[in-house]
Structure 1
Amino acid sequence: MAGPSEPVHVLSVGAWSPVVERLWAAGAETSLLCDAEMLDQHQGLSEHRSVTVTRAAGLEELVALAEGVHARAPLSHAVSFDDTSMVAAARIREELGLGGGDPSTVVGTVHDKDRYRSALTGTPAAVPHAVVGSVDDVLRFGRTHGWPIVVKPVSGSGSAGVTLGVGPDGAADALARATVRTHYTPTGRAMAEVQVRGRVITVDTLSHAGAHEVMSIGFELPGAAHPAMMIYGVPAPLTDTERRDVVGTVTSALARLGVTTGPAHTELLLTAEGTPVLIETQLRPGGDFPELTLAASGLDVYDAWARQLLGEDPLPRIREAAASAGTCAVIACGAPDVEADYLELRDLDEVRAHDDVAGVRVLRQPPYRSASARTRDDLSVTVMSTAPTAQLALRRAVRALGGARMRVTTHGGGGAAGPPPVGLEPRTSTAGGRPFKSEEAP
């Protein structure tokens, strides 16, 4: 493992991350090991010392390929920036004696939702759960613990395969959805757990030598303010007591799970009684939260992680940023929600021109055909705004998002006989679902 003055050669396993750019800026050497399906997302391929591309390689093959890279140019670290490659990176670290993260036993426990829940049994963060292999198992769990429940894959990334609010009539469909094998849900195993209601809070941390420092406490609002399908913000508007309880719950869970090194993104629910209940943890920064954290506090999450890989202690810099933070940042994510051919995004320059808009990003560039937006993969555009309070930043972001328009052709025959056209600007009529305004293509 490289020390502060030793050469750094980091093997990046899997998906792209801006952490790699930060490593290059610091003069570190990197190599890439990834599946062919991920190659297009990577930037600056020529900057790597070596690039190894695989196709659906198994764990042992990935370790062998990493050994080949190591033999040609000794590696100091192996890291992954996506959930599906983290166990492989951990195994590579173990086989080659590298730094960059925790052992595969820890990584595997965090990413296996059954093991994750079981590891927290007996703590305030515990949630009743059970692996379910049949509809009868789901029904038995619901009868025992009360309806509704959550059914989800045992090993999965994000919300893939997860069904909330499951009752007896939905047990079969929920189980079928949770057991579909995909790249993001590879095992085909499912589990049920008690459904808890509350505000969605996120906590991004960086762990160094077993100490856990909070980089941001954020919030999520799914479909809370049309035309936004999803809203993310930093910092979450919490009381001092709520913040203390949230941070204590998360850091205690990380310690219980054995996490000692690197970033973690933990999602939880804060109940009406003020009780934090963990949903899950990923060993990476969370989605848009690095961008929000940078806007709110000036802390570059990717740079902090890169500095740790370079041998520095990143925690003092994180504490300094937290002490000086005074801005709230919110990202509003928008998409039409009817089945349509999305042809053109319009008026984005006008959206960017808003004084209170800090950034606009197109997630999916038309033309494309899509059914009703259901997940983040269906979103079209995001707008970030900043303000002294979360409430004001939210209003600014949603108002600015409403200035974007989508030219579409709706399915079902088009014209007056088809479903109503949609866009990203609010209107008073709510025919056809969410209140959107658009221009229908001729």
Structure 2
Amino acid sequence: MRSHEYVLLLGADQYLRERAFSGAKQAADLPVWAAAEDPVRRPNRTFDHMLPADPKDPESLLRAIRAHSARGLHPRVVVPLNDWTLDAANTVNRELGLGGLDATAVTNARNKHAMKRALLAGGVRTPRSALVRSEPELLDAVEAIGLPVVIKPYDFGGSGGVVLATTREEAIAGLAESKAVIAQYGAAFGILGDKYLVERFVDSDDEVSVEVLCGAGRAQVLAVTEKYLSPRPWFAELAHLVPSHRTGDPVLTELAVQACVALGIDRGLAHVEIKFDADGTPWVIEVAARPGGDGIMDQVERAYSLNPYRLHVGSYLGQDLLDVVAAAVPVKTSAIAFLKAAPGRIEDVLDGKPLPPEVRALNISARPGDLSHAAKNWSTREGLVELEWDQLFSAKTPLPVALAKELSDQIFVTGEAAGE
């Protein structure tokens, strides 16, 4: 029987990761598959084939892969594209002898407490933190670390359940809010959410993410993304802009690379979140062993004319692409910003007016009758706009958030308060 190989992408069918299919095609002249629990009732015609398996469950994946292997169809490699598939993809890779990240690296990238310990052991500057399970442990951590603190689930993402506390009372309320978010979303994302990280707050709204291609004991920065955050006490990401004016900063670059090496990430793209304190000192907040989400990879592709998913998949295939990354130069600025209606019930959605020339794409997800809440995390958005400029900015520009607000005010008609 003739053997046929394919590349299996996990998480590539997620909204704003569609360009992963094109990147995988560029990286390998092979069919590109994805996985879904019920591809018959929820077909996806983008991919060459949909594997009937839960992309978050390695046992489900292995059963489906082995069933196809009996017919001569074998994965060359399994590539994770989001946090929820990271463990499954690399467990399958190791089980089938296809490479993949070491199990310790996966733990370091998914367990924020283990991540902090590995960063500190590697000499990486990161805020002091403590792992807690209960309110008494929370108050002990607040006493030891000192206010203000940030409270977050230790194994979640997307700013879900991340809250700032400036008093003991706010810390107690913040832990309750974080637990409520996990109760709402934990099962859908396959996370435990049974522990929470209490972290010293780096008092600044100046934050970037650094997109890094990793190799064995080395790494190369591809791009620096400027981040725009919601008003406190939450940390919803309102916009991302590529390239940041900090691109090329050697201190920032070295810190991001050091963080990836400390966590043992030796392949694929990593997403390193860094904040700057009042005197400009950078602090590593978190590291994800996968490409940045929220459409950041699409903005990188437009700004650099280089599909970053090609690098991510190629790295998992064993290709050394660090020189390609080192030679990448931005030729324009690209941004994604999220639409936010005023709090209340959306009475009408007015689309169809002329759009500013900077707009590359517009997607409205809210409908009349929906409730709009304050920007807390990914779940409180009403849509998105993608923007582009034929210039590079030398300082942080307010344009992405300003244009998104202008459009939101034009599009959404909001009535009574959401707390009705």
Q: Tell me which interval the TM-score lies in, with the shorter structure as reference length.
A: 0.7 to 0.9
Q: Hey, what does 1:76 align to over in structure 2?
A: 76
- Maintained 8 Å contact 1:270/1:277: yes
Q: 1:389 aligns to what?
A: 393
Unaligned regions of 5+ residues in structure 2, if any?
none
Using structure 1 for the length normalisation, give the TM-score: 0.79
Q: Which residue of 2 aligns with 1:427?
A: none
Matches within 5 A, 1:400-419: 402-403=406-407, 405-408=410-413, 410-411=415-416
CA distance in 2, matches of 1:15, 1:202: 21
Q: Is the Cα contact below 8 Å between 2:124 and 2:259 reproduced in 1?
A: no
**How much has 1:64 moved relative to structure 2?**
3.2
Give the one of 289, 296, 305 matched to 2:303: 296
**Do 2:56 and 2:85's aligned partners in 1 also have CA atoms closer than 8 Å?**
no
Segment of structure 1 superposing worse, 165-174 or 266-275: 165-174
For 1:302 and 1:340, how far apart are their aligned partners in 2? 38
The 1:289–1:407 alpha-carbon spacing in structure 2 relative to 1, beyond 3 Å, is closer
Shift of 1:311: 4.8
Residue 207 of structure 1 is matched in structure 2 by 214
> Residue 291 of structure 2 aligns to which amino acid in structure 1?
P
Please state if 1:398 is matched with 2:405: no
Q: How big is each residue's C-alpha offset from its partner over 1:286-312, in whole Å with a ceiling of 9 and x where there is no partner?
A: 123222222322222122224435553
Shift, 1:174, TM fit: 1.9
Change (3 A) 1:209 1:61: same
Match of 1:333 in 2: 338
Q: Whole-Å Cα distance in 2 between the matches of residues 320 and 92 of structure 1? A: 33
Aligned CA RMSD, in angstroms, stands at: 3.2
The separation in 2 between residues aligned to 1:377 and 1:410, in whole angstroms, is 20
Contact 1:290 1:301 in 2 (8 A): yes
Distance verdict in 2 for CA 1:346–1:214, change over 3 Å? same
Q: Which amino acid aligns with 2:151?
A: V
Instruction: Tell whether the 8 Å contact from 1:14 to 1:38 is kept in structure 2 after alignment.
Output: no
**Per the alignment, do residues 277 and 37 of structure 1 end up closer, same or farther by CA in structure 2, a change over 3 Å counting?**
farther
Say if 1:279 and 1:412 are closer, same or farther in 2 by CA, change over 3 A. closer
In the TM superposition, what are the counterparts of 1:34-433 in structure 2 within 5 Å? Answer: 34-36=36-38, 40=42, 42-45=44-47, 47-48=48-49, 50-54=50-54, 58-72=57-71, 73-99=73-99, 101-122=100-121, 123-179=123-179, 180-181=182-183, 182=186, 183-184=188-189, 185-198=191-204, 199-223=206-230, 230-238=238-246, 243-287=249-293, 288-309=295-316, 311-322=318-329, 325-348=330-353, 350-351=354-355, 354-355=356-357, 357-374=358-375, 375-379=377-381, 380-386=383-389, 387-389=391-393, 394-395=398-399, 398-399=402-403, 402-403=406-407, 405-408=410-413, 410-411=415-416
Q: Alpha carbons of 1:80 and 1:368: their partners in 2 closer, same or farther (altered >3 Å)?
A: farther
AA partner of residue 199 (structure 2): E
Question: Which gives a bigger RCO, structure 1 or 2 (Cα 8 Å, sep 6+)?
Answer: 2
Q: Secondary structure at the match of 1:346?
A: coil
Q: In 2, distance between residues paired with 1:214 and 1:27?
A: 26
The number of equivalent residue pairs is 395
Deviation at 1:79, TM superposition (A): 1.4
Residue type at the aligned position of 2:22: E
State the 1:363 CA deviation: 4.7
Q: Give TM-score scaled by structure 2 length.
A: 0.83
Higher radius of gyration, 1 or 2: 1
The change in CA–CA distance for 1:308 and 1:121 in structure 2 (over 3 A counts) is closer
